[in-house]
């Protein structure tokens, strides 16, 4: 279901909602650089079926509304262009608006993929709204690895990710020994997206099992 949110600075954005209003656990789910596209909506619906209330804010609405990209080279370039125009402070304002829209009685977590993996890390370090955070292949986490998380964090990376060298993963792990970090042998960037050529169903299943167990542990 599509809804409209209003951030603290007055910006209005759309969001995709899934799951029951009385769910005991809830998640803000953060998009890749391709917008709230078919993959993100399908993923939100899948996680909601596990008993979560899920909301996916359209972070690109600050630049262009209704963005839904695919995974061709020109879409990657367009997604990077859009992401470069969205201020980090605006991202976090939209994340907070999404968190506030979740059921008040549900324990809140944040999960993100690609760019969203970095934003999920910021959700742990720059927000007090979440009790747990999970990030998949967030390329920006190494650059902000010295920020202090306010909740438990779990991270997932592909061993052969061309955009996130293992040296970045090692640097993050060294800076954050309290964070759970998993690397998936042979998996590339975007390994959990069924619409990408890099999709790895085995790594996806293993990561999802770990993520759901982690969230259940910390969200109660």
Chain mean pLDDT for the chain: 97
Q: Which residues are catalytic?
A: 114, 161, 189
Determine the average pLDDT of the residues in 19-24: 94
Determine the average pLDDT of the residues in 67-83: 97
Cβ-contact 209, 50 below 8 angstroms: no
For domain 2-219, give the CATH superfamily. Alpha/Beta hydrolase fold, catalytic domain (3.40.50.1820)
The residue behind tokens 């061709």 is: 72
pLDDT exceeding 70 applies to what percent of the chain?
100
Q: Where are the domains of the chain?
A: 2-219
Cβ-contact 132, 108 below 8 angstroms: no
Cβ-contact 135, 215 below 8 angstroms: no
Cβ-contact 35, 68 below 8 angstroms: yes
**Confidence band of 220 (pLDDT split at 50, 70, 90):** confident
**Confidence band of 90 (pLDDT split at 50, 70, 90):** very high
Determine the average pLDDT of the residues in 4-12: 98
Whole-angstrom Cα distance, residue 163 to residue 129? Answer: 29
Instruction: Give the pairing type, strands 2-6 and 12-18.
Output: antiparallel
**Confidence band of 91 (pLDDT split at 50, 70, 90):** very high
Whole-angstrom Cα distance, residue 126 to residue 144? Answer: 11
Determine the average pLDDT of the residues in 146-170: 98
Position 197 scores a pLDDT of: 95
pTM score over 0.85: yes
């Amino acid at each position: 279901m599509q809804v409209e949110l209003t951030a603290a600075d007055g910006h209005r954005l759309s969001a995709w909602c899934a799951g029951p209003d009385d769910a005991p656990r809830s998640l803000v789910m953060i998009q890749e650089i391709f917008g709230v596209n078919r993959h993100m909506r399908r993923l939100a619906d899948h996680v909601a079926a596990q008993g979560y209330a899920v909301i996916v804010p359209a972070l690109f609405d600050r630049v262009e509304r209704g963005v839904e990209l695919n995974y061709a080279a020109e879409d990657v370039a367009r997604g990077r262009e859009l992401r470069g125009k969205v201020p980090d402070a605006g991202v976090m304002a939209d994340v907070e608006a999404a968190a506030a829209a979740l059921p008040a009685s549900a324990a809140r977590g944040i999960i993100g993929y690609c760019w969203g993996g970095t934003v999920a890390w910021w959700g742990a370090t720059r927000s007090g709204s979440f009790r747990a955070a999970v990030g998949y292949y967030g390329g920006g986490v190494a650059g902000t690895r010295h920020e202090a998380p306010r909740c438990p964090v779990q991270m997932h990376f592909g061993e052969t990710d061309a955009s996130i060298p293992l040296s970045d993963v090692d640097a993050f792990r060294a800076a954050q020994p309290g964070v759970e970090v998993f690397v998936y042998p042979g998996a590339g960037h975007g390994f959990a997206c069924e619409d990408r050529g890099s999709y790895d169903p085995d790594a996806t299943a293993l990561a999802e099992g770990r993520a759901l167990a982690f969230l259940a542990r910390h969200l109660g």
